[in-house]
Structure 1
Amino acid sequence: MSENRSLIRRTTAVAAAVAASLVLAACGGADGGATAGHGGHTAPSSRPQSLSPTASPSAARGQHNAADVAFAQMMIPHHRQAVEMADLAPTRAGSAEVKQLAEAIKKAQDPEIRTLSGWLTAWGEQVPATGAGDHSAHGAGGGMMTAEEMDRLGKASGKAFDTAFMELMIKHHEGAVAMAETERTQGAHPEAKTMAEAIISSQSAEIATMKELLGKN
Protein backbone atom coordinates (compact mmCIF):
# COMPACT_ATOMS: atom_id res chain seq x y z
CA MET A 1 0.00 0.00 0.00
CA SER A 2 2.83 2.40 0.91
CA GLU A 3 4.47 1.59 -2.43
CA ASN A 4 1.24 2.44 -4.26
CA ARG A 5 0.92 5.73 -2.40
CA SER A 6 4.54 6.57 -3.23
CA LEU A 7 3.77 5.85 -6.89
CA ILE A 8 0.76 8.19 -6.82
CA ARG A 9 2.83 10.91 -5.15
CA ARG A 10 5.54 10.60 -7.80
CA THR A 11 2.98 10.80 -10.59
CA THR A 12 1.28 13.81 -9.00
CA ALA A 13 4.68 15.49 -8.59
CA VAL A 14 5.43 14.99 -12.30
CA ALA A 15 2.05 16.44 -13.26
CA ALA A 16 2.52 19.40 -10.91
CA ALA A 17 5.95 20.16 -12.32
CA VAL A 18 4.64 20.02 -15.88
CA ALA A 19 1.70 22.28 -15.00
CA ALA A 20 4.09 24.75 -13.36
CA SER A 21 6.19 24.91 -16.51
CA LEU A 22 3.03 25.58 -18.54
CA VAL A 23 2.09 28.46 -16.26
CA LEU A 24 5.59 29.96 -16.51
CA ALA A 25 5.56 29.69 -20.30
CA ALA A 26 2.15 31.33 -20.53
CA CYS A 27 3.11 34.14 -18.17
CA GLY A 28 6.28 34.78 -20.12
CA GLY A 29 4.17 35.52 -23.21
CA ALA A 30 2.09 38.19 -21.48
CA ASP A 31 2.74 41.92 -21.76
CA GLY A 32 5.86 42.96 -19.85
CA GLY A 33 6.06 39.49 -18.26
CA ALA A 34 3.28 40.46 -15.85
CA THR A 35 1.90 37.65 -13.70
CA ALA A 36 -1.74 36.75 -13.48
CA GLY A 37 -2.82 33.52 -10.96
CA HIS A 38 -3.86 19.15 -14.00
CA GLY A 39 -2.67 17.14 -13.24
CA GLY A 40 -0.90 18.92 -11.40
CA HIS A 41 -3.33 18.84 -13.14
CA THR A 42 -3.63 22.86 -10.57
CA ALA A 43 -4.36 31.19 -6.98
CA PRO A 44 -5.74 33.55 -9.14
CA SER A 45 -2.60 35.70 -8.83
CA SER A 46 -0.38 33.02 -10.40
CA ARG A 47 -2.74 31.81 -13.14
CA PRO A 48 -1.91 32.93 -16.72
CA GLN A 49 -4.33 35.39 -18.28
CA SER A 50 -5.33 32.82 -20.89
CA LEU A 51 -7.10 30.80 -18.20
CA SER A 52 -9.90 33.35 -18.38
CA PRO A 53 -12.77 32.41 -20.70
CA THR A 54 -12.57 35.96 -22.10
CA ALA A 55 -10.07 36.94 -24.76
CA SER A 56 -6.63 37.87 -23.43
CA PRO A 57 -4.28 40.24 -25.32
CA SER A 58 -1.55 37.60 -25.25
CA ALA A 59 -3.74 34.89 -26.77
CA ALA A 60 -5.26 37.26 -29.32
CA ARG A 61 -1.83 38.34 -30.59
CA GLY A 62 -0.41 34.83 -30.73
CA GLN A 63 -0.07 33.13 -34.08
CA HIS A 64 -2.39 30.15 -34.43
CA ASN A 65 -3.61 27.83 -37.16
CA ALA A 66 -6.36 25.31 -37.84
CA ALA A 67 -4.55 22.61 -35.88
CA ASP A 68 -4.57 24.83 -32.78
CA VAL A 69 -8.30 25.45 -33.13
CA ALA A 70 -9.01 21.73 -33.60
CA PHE A 71 -6.85 20.87 -30.60
CA ALA A 72 -8.75 23.27 -28.33
CA GLN A 73 -12.20 22.33 -29.62
CA MET A 74 -11.53 18.59 -29.25
CA MET A 75 -9.67 18.73 -25.95
CA ILE A 76 -12.35 20.76 -24.12
CA PRO A 77 -15.09 18.05 -24.26
CA HIS A 78 -12.40 15.40 -23.74
CA HIS A 79 -11.24 17.07 -20.52
CA ARG A 80 -14.82 17.69 -19.40
CA GLN A 81 -15.52 13.98 -19.58
CA ALA A 82 -12.36 13.12 -17.64
CA VAL A 83 -13.45 15.55 -14.92
CA GLU A 84 -16.91 13.97 -14.91
CA MET A 85 -15.32 10.55 -14.46
CA ALA A 86 -13.04 11.86 -11.70
CA ASP A 87 -16.04 13.37 -9.89
CA LEU A 88 -17.39 9.84 -9.35
CA ALA A 89 -14.34 8.61 -7.46
CA PRO A 90 -14.79 10.26 -4.03
CA THR A 91 -18.02 8.35 -3.37
CA ARG A 92 -17.55 5.22 -5.49
CA ALA A 93 -13.84 4.31 -5.51
CA GLY A 94 -12.65 1.63 -3.12
CA SER A 95 -8.97 2.51 -2.94
CA ALA A 96 -7.25 5.65 -1.70
CA GLU A 97 -4.89 5.49 -4.68
CA VAL A 98 -7.73 5.77 -7.20
CA LYS A 99 -9.27 8.64 -5.24
CA GLN A 100 -5.92 10.48 -5.22
CA LEU A 101 -5.44 9.86 -8.93
CA ALA A 102 -8.92 11.16 -9.73
CA GLU A 103 -8.27 14.29 -7.67
CA ALA A 104 -5.02 14.93 -9.53
CA ILE A 105 -6.76 14.52 -12.89
CA LYS A 106 -9.47 17.01 -11.94
CA LYS A 107 -6.98 19.56 -10.59
CA ALA A 108 -5.02 19.39 -13.84
CA GLN A 109 -7.81 19.44 -16.36
CA ASP A 110 -10.24 22.00 -14.91
CA PRO A 111 -7.73 24.87 -15.41
CA GLU A 112 -6.80 23.58 -18.86
CA ILE A 113 -10.47 23.71 -19.90
CA ARG A 114 -10.56 27.40 -18.91
CA THR A 115 -7.32 28.08 -20.77
CA LEU A 116 -8.51 26.37 -23.95
CA SER A 117 -11.86 28.20 -23.80
CA GLY A 118 -10.04 31.51 -23.41
CA TRP A 119 -7.92 30.85 -26.48
CA LEU A 120 -10.92 29.98 -28.63
CA THR A 121 -12.75 33.11 -27.50
CA ALA A 122 -9.69 35.23 -28.28
CA TRP A 123 -9.43 33.65 -31.74
CA GLY A 124 -13.11 34.25 -32.51
CA GLU A 125 -13.80 30.51 -32.60
CA GLN A 126 -16.68 28.57 -31.07
CA VAL A 127 -16.23 27.10 -27.60
CA PRO A 128 -17.85 23.63 -27.46
CA ALA A 129 -21.12 23.67 -25.53
CA THR A 130 -21.51 21.57 -22.42
CA GLY A 131 -23.99 18.71 -22.29
CA ALA A 132 -24.59 15.17 -23.40
CA GLY A 133 -22.74 15.83 -26.65
CA ASP A 134 -19.52 15.58 -24.67
CA HIS A 135 -19.90 11.80 -24.71
CA SER A 136 -20.04 11.51 -28.50
CA ALA A 137 -18.05 14.51 -29.69
CA HIS A 138 -15.28 12.23 -30.93
CA GLY A 139 -17.45 9.41 -32.21
CA ALA A 140 -15.51 6.25 -31.44
CA GLY A 141 -12.18 8.05 -31.42
CA GLY A 142 -10.17 10.13 -29.01
CA GLY A 143 -10.67 7.64 -26.20
CA MET A 144 -14.04 9.17 -25.36
CA MET A 145 -16.45 7.07 -23.31
CA THR A 146 -19.91 6.35 -24.65
CA ALA A 147 -22.97 7.32 -22.62
CA GLU A 148 -23.43 3.61 -21.84
CA GLU A 149 -19.87 3.27 -20.53
CA MET A 150 -20.32 6.34 -18.36
CA ASP A 151 -23.58 4.94 -17.03
CA ARG A 152 -21.96 1.63 -16.12
CA LEU A 153 -19.08 3.41 -14.40
CA GLY A 154 -21.51 5.53 -12.41
CA LYS A 155 -23.26 2.40 -11.13
CA ALA A 156 -20.06 0.57 -10.10
CA SER A 157 -18.48 0.82 -6.67
CA GLY A 158 -15.54 -0.47 -4.69
CA LYS A 159 -12.97 -2.61 -6.48
CA ALA A 160 -15.21 -2.94 -9.54
CA PHE A 161 -15.25 0.84 -9.88
CA ASP A 162 -11.49 1.08 -9.38
CA THR A 163 -10.80 -1.42 -12.16
CA ALA A 164 -13.32 0.09 -14.58
CA PHE A 165 -12.18 3.64 -13.84
CA MET A 166 -8.53 2.88 -14.53
CA GLU A 167 -9.20 0.79 -17.64
CA LEU A 168 -11.44 3.48 -19.12
CA MET A 169 -9.16 6.34 -18.06
CA ILE A 170 -6.14 4.67 -19.66
CA LYS A 171 -8.03 4.58 -22.95
CA HIS A 172 -9.17 8.17 -22.39
CA HIS A 173 -5.65 9.39 -21.61
CA GLU A 174 -4.22 7.59 -24.65
CA GLY A 175 -6.68 9.54 -26.80
CA ALA A 176 -5.60 12.81 -25.20
CA VAL A 177 -1.92 12.01 -25.72
CA ALA A 178 -2.56 11.26 -29.40
CA MET A 179 -4.36 14.61 -29.85
CA ALA A 180 -1.55 16.40 -28.04
CA GLU A 181 1.05 14.73 -30.26
CA THR A 182 -0.78 16.11 -33.30
CA GLU A 183 -0.83 19.59 -31.79
CA ARG A 184 2.86 19.37 -30.95
CA THR A 185 3.79 18.59 -34.54
CA GLN A 186 1.15 20.58 -36.46
CA GLY A 187 0.15 23.49 -34.20
CA ALA A 188 1.51 27.04 -34.43
CA HIS A 189 0.39 28.70 -31.18
CA PRO A 190 3.33 28.54 -28.72
CA GLU A 191 1.21 28.27 -25.58
CA ALA A 192 -1.01 25.58 -27.11
CA LYS A 193 2.08 23.57 -28.04
CA THR A 194 3.37 24.00 -24.49
CA MET A 195 0.08 22.67 -23.13
CA ALA A 196 0.30 19.73 -25.52
CA GLU A 197 3.74 18.88 -24.12
CA ALA A 198 2.31 19.11 -20.59
CA ILE A 199 -0.56 16.76 -21.46
CA ILE A 200 1.80 14.24 -23.03
CA SER A 201 4.10 14.24 -19.98
CA SER A 202 1.50 14.22 -17.22
CA GLN A 203 -0.99 11.83 -18.79
CA SER A 204 1.70 9.39 -19.91
CA ALA A 205 2.88 9.28 -16.28
CA GLU A 206 -0.69 8.67 -15.12
CA ILE A 207 -1.15 5.88 -17.67
CA ALA A 208 1.96 4.17 -16.30
CA THR A 209 0.66 4.55 -12.73
CA MET A 210 -2.75 3.10 -13.59
CA LYS A 211 -1.25 0.15 -15.44
CA GLU A 212 0.93 -0.63 -12.43
CA LEU A 213 -2.00 -0.35 -10.04
CA LEU A 214 -4.12 -2.61 -12.26
CA GLY A 215 -1.32 -5.17 -12.23
CA LYS A 216 -1.44 -5.20 -8.43
CA ASN A 217 -5.24 -5.29 -8.25
Structure 2
Amino acid sequence: MNRRPLALLLAAALLLAGCGSVDSTSKADFNVTDVMFLQMMLPLHAQGIELTGLAKERAVEPAVRDLAEELDTVQREESETMRGWLTEWGQSTEVDADPGAHAHHGGLHQTSPAEIAALKSTPDSEFDTTFLNLMTGHLHNSVELTKTEVDGGRNASAKELATTIRESRTKEISRLLSLVG
Protein backbone atom coordinates (compact mmCIF):
# COMPACT_ATOMS: atom_id res chain seq x y z
CA MET A 1 0.00 0.00 0.00
CA ASN A 2 1.40 3.36 -0.98
CA ARG A 3 1.24 5.63 2.08
CA ARG A 4 2.40 8.73 0.29
CA PRO A 5 -1.03 9.87 -1.03
CA LEU A 6 -2.55 9.21 2.39
CA ALA A 7 0.17 11.25 4.07
CA LEU A 8 -0.35 14.10 1.61
CA LEU A 9 -4.09 14.03 2.23
CA LEU A 10 -3.55 14.11 5.99
CA ALA A 11 -1.08 16.98 5.67
CA ALA A 12 -3.50 18.92 3.48
CA ALA A 13 -6.35 18.25 5.93
CA LEU A 14 -4.24 19.49 8.84
CA LEU A 15 -3.24 22.64 6.97
CA LEU A 16 -6.84 23.36 6.04
CA ALA A 17 -8.02 22.65 9.57
CA GLY A 18 -5.37 25.01 10.91
CA CYS A 19 -6.39 27.74 8.50
CA GLY A 20 -10.03 27.24 9.31
CA SER A 21 -9.39 27.52 13.03
CA VAL A 22 -7.73 30.92 12.83
CA ASP A 23 -10.28 33.42 14.04
CA SER A 24 -10.55 36.56 11.94
CA THR A 25 -10.57 38.63 15.15
CA SER A 26 -7.52 39.27 17.32
CA LYS A 27 -8.35 36.45 19.75
CA ALA A 28 -5.32 34.36 18.78
CA ASP A 29 -3.06 37.35 18.44
CA PHE A 30 -1.97 37.91 22.05
CA ASN A 31 0.51 36.51 24.53
CA VAL A 32 0.92 36.44 28.30
CA THR A 33 2.69 39.80 28.24
CA ASP A 34 -0.34 41.41 26.58
CA VAL A 35 -2.66 39.90 29.18
CA MET A 36 -0.41 40.87 32.10
CA PHE A 37 -0.07 44.44 30.81
CA LEU A 38 -3.83 44.91 30.52
CA GLN A 39 -4.56 43.20 33.84
CA MET A 40 -2.01 45.39 35.63
CA MET A 41 -2.99 48.60 33.86
CA LEU A 42 -6.68 48.25 34.82
CA PRO A 43 -6.17 48.63 38.60
CA LEU A 44 -3.63 51.38 37.95
CA HIS A 45 -6.26 53.22 35.91
CA ALA A 46 -8.84 52.59 38.65
CA GLN A 47 -6.53 54.32 41.11
CA GLY A 48 -5.99 57.15 38.64
CA ILE A 49 -9.76 57.58 38.32
CA GLU A 50 -10.02 57.68 42.11
CA LEU A 51 -7.31 60.35 42.28
CA THR A 52 -8.79 62.44 39.48
CA GLY A 53 -12.22 62.17 41.09
CA LEU A 54 -10.82 63.74 44.24
CA ALA A 55 -9.17 66.50 42.24
CA LYS A 56 -12.32 67.25 40.26
CA GLU A 57 -14.10 67.82 43.59
CA ARG A 58 -11.39 69.46 45.67
CA ALA A 59 -8.81 71.19 43.48
CA VAL A 60 -8.62 74.93 44.04
CA GLU A 61 -6.99 75.89 40.73
CA PRO A 62 -9.16 75.55 37.61
CA ALA A 63 -6.15 74.27 35.62
CA VAL A 64 -5.76 71.37 38.07
CA ARG A 65 -9.47 70.54 37.86
CA ASP A 66 -9.35 70.70 34.05
CA LEU A 67 -6.35 68.40 33.90
CA ALA A 68 -8.01 65.97 36.32
CA GLU A 69 -11.12 65.93 34.10
CA GLU A 70 -9.02 65.17 31.01
CA LEU A 71 -7.09 62.38 32.77
CA ASP A 72 -10.30 60.92 34.14
CA THR A 73 -11.94 60.75 30.70
CA VAL A 74 -8.90 59.18 29.02
CA GLN A 75 -8.42 56.55 31.72
CA ARG A 76 -12.10 55.58 31.66
CA GLU A 77 -12.02 55.13 27.87
CA GLU A 78 -8.77 53.15 27.99
CA SER A 79 -10.12 50.95 30.78
CA GLU A 80 -13.21 50.11 28.74
CA THR A 81 -11.02 49.15 25.78
CA MET A 82 -8.70 47.01 27.91
CA ARG A 83 -11.57 45.17 29.61
CA GLY A 84 -13.09 44.53 26.19
CA TRP A 85 -9.91 42.97 24.84
CA LEU A 86 -9.43 40.75 27.89
CA THR A 87 -13.04 39.60 27.67
CA GLU A 88 -12.71 38.96 23.93
CA TRP A 89 -9.58 36.90 24.60
CA GLY A 90 -11.32 34.88 27.32
CA GLN A 91 -8.96 36.25 29.99
CA SER A 92 -9.68 37.55 33.46
CA THR A 93 -9.82 41.29 33.97
CA GLU A 94 -8.30 40.81 37.43
CA VAL A 95 -4.57 41.00 38.10
CA ASP A 96 -2.88 38.12 39.94
CA ALA A 97 -2.89 39.22 43.60
CA ASP A 98 0.31 37.29 44.36
CA PRO A 99 3.11 39.90 44.49
CA GLY A 100 5.61 37.20 43.51
CA ALA A 101 3.86 36.82 40.17
CA HIS A 102 5.04 40.31 39.24
CA ALA A 103 8.61 40.27 40.56
CA HIS A 104 10.20 39.67 37.14
CA HIS A 105 8.82 42.93 35.73
CA GLY A 106 9.34 45.21 38.72
CA GLY A 107 6.28 44.38 40.82
CA LEU A 108 2.87 46.00 40.80
CA HIS A 109 3.20 49.57 39.58
CA GLN A 110 0.60 51.15 41.84
CA THR A 111 0.11 54.09 44.14
CA SER A 112 -0.10 52.87 47.72
CA PRO A 113 -3.44 52.97 49.54
CA ALA A 114 -1.71 55.02 52.26
CA GLU A 115 -0.79 57.71 49.71
CA ILE A 116 -4.37 57.87 48.45
CA ALA A 117 -5.69 58.06 52.02
CA ALA A 118 -3.23 60.86 52.79
CA LEU A 119 -4.48 62.80 49.77
CA LYS A 120 -8.06 62.41 50.96
CA SER A 121 -7.16 63.98 54.30
CA THR A 122 -4.96 66.74 52.87
CA PRO A 123 -6.16 70.24 53.81
CA ASP A 124 -7.67 72.18 50.92
CA SER A 125 -4.81 74.70 51.01
CA GLU A 126 -2.32 71.91 50.22
CA PHE A 127 -4.52 69.71 48.04
CA ASP A 128 -3.44 70.90 44.58
CA THR A 129 0.28 70.50 45.23
CA THR A 130 -0.18 67.15 46.95
CA PHE A 131 -2.40 65.87 44.14
CA LEU A 132 0.00 67.07 41.43
CA ASN A 133 2.96 65.39 43.11
CA LEU A 134 1.10 62.15 43.73
CA MET A 135 -0.38 62.05 40.23
CA THR A 136 3.07 62.66 38.73
CA GLY A 137 4.37 59.53 40.42
CA HIS A 138 1.23 57.64 39.50
CA LEU A 139 1.57 58.53 35.82
CA HIS A 140 5.24 57.58 35.95
CA ASN A 141 4.10 54.12 37.09
CA SER A 142 1.96 53.93 33.95
CA VAL A 143 4.92 54.84 31.77
CA GLU A 144 7.05 52.17 33.46
CA LEU A 145 4.38 49.51 32.96
CA THR A 146 4.19 50.19 29.23
CA LYS A 147 7.83 49.20 28.71
CA THR A 148 7.15 45.49 29.25
CA GLU A 149 4.29 45.52 26.74
CA VAL A 150 6.20 47.42 24.08
CA ASP A 151 9.19 45.07 24.45
CA GLY A 152 7.38 41.74 24.82
CA GLY A 153 3.74 42.01 23.78
CA ARG A 154 2.39 40.42 20.63
CA ASN A 155 -0.98 42.05 20.11
CA ALA A 156 -0.57 45.06 17.81
CA SER A 157 -3.48 46.96 19.37
CA ALA A 158 -2.22 46.43 22.92
CA LYS A 159 1.29 47.49 21.90
CA GLU A 160 -0.15 50.58 20.21
CA LEU A 161 -2.13 51.41 23.36
CA ALA A 162 1.03 50.99 25.46
CA THR A 163 2.89 53.37 23.16
CA THR A 164 0.04 55.88 23.31
CA ILE A 165 -0.09 55.66 27.11
CA ARG A 166 3.68 56.12 27.36
CA GLU A 167 3.67 59.18 25.09
CA SER A 168 0.54 60.82 26.53
CA ARG A 169 1.48 60.22 30.17
CA THR A 170 4.95 61.63 29.58
CA LYS A 171 3.34 64.82 28.22
CA GLU A 172 0.86 64.87 31.12
CA ILE A 173 3.71 64.55 33.63
CA SER A 174 5.26 67.67 32.08
CA ARG A 175 1.94 69.50 32.43
CA LEU A 176 1.62 68.38 36.06
CA LEU A 177 5.13 69.54 36.85
CA SER A 178 4.47 72.93 35.24
CA LEU A 179 1.46 73.35 37.51
CA VAL A 180 3.41 72.48 40.67
CA GLY A 181 5.35 75.65 40.51
TM-score range, shorter chain: 0.7 to 0.9
CA–CA separation in structure 1 for the residues paired with 2:51 and 2:62: 16
CA contact (8 A) 1:93 1:159 kept: no
**Residue 211, structure 1, aligned to residue 174, structure 2:** no
CA RMSD of aligned residues (A): 2.2
Larger CA Rg, structure 1 vs 2: 2
**Residue 160, structure 1, aligned to residue 134, structure 2:** no
How far the C-alpha of 1:157 sits from its partner, in A, is 4.2
Q: Which runs of 5 or more residues in structure 1 are unaligned?
A: 1-56
1:60 to 21, 27, 32: 27
How far the C-alpha of 1:121 sits from its partner, in A, is 1.1
Moved more, 195-204 or 148-157: 148-157
Task: Output the TM-score relative to the length of structure 2.
Answer: 0.76
Structure 2 equivalent of residue 190 of structure 1: 156
Moved more, 156-165 or 186-195: 156-165
Query: Moved runs in structure 1, 4+ residues, more than 4 A?
Result: 138-143
User: SS where residue 93 of structure 2 aligns?
Assistant: coil
Aligned CA distance change for structure 1 residues 114 and 174 (closer, same or farther; 3 Å): same
CA–CA separation in structure 1 for the residues paired with 2:132 and 2:41: 20
> Once the two structures are superposed, what CA deviation does each residue of 1:13-44 show, in whole Å capped at 9, x if it has no partner?
xxxxxxxxxxxxxxxxxxxxxxxxxxxxxxxx
Q: Which runs of 5 or more residues in structure 2 are unaligned?
A: 1-23
Identity of matched residues, % = 34
Matches within 5 A, 1:72-151: 72-128=38-94, 141-151=107-117
Task: Output the TM-score relative to the length of structure 1.
Answer: 0.64
1:199 to 165, 173, 179: 165
CA–CA separation in structure 2 for the residues paired with 1:115 and 1:180: 16
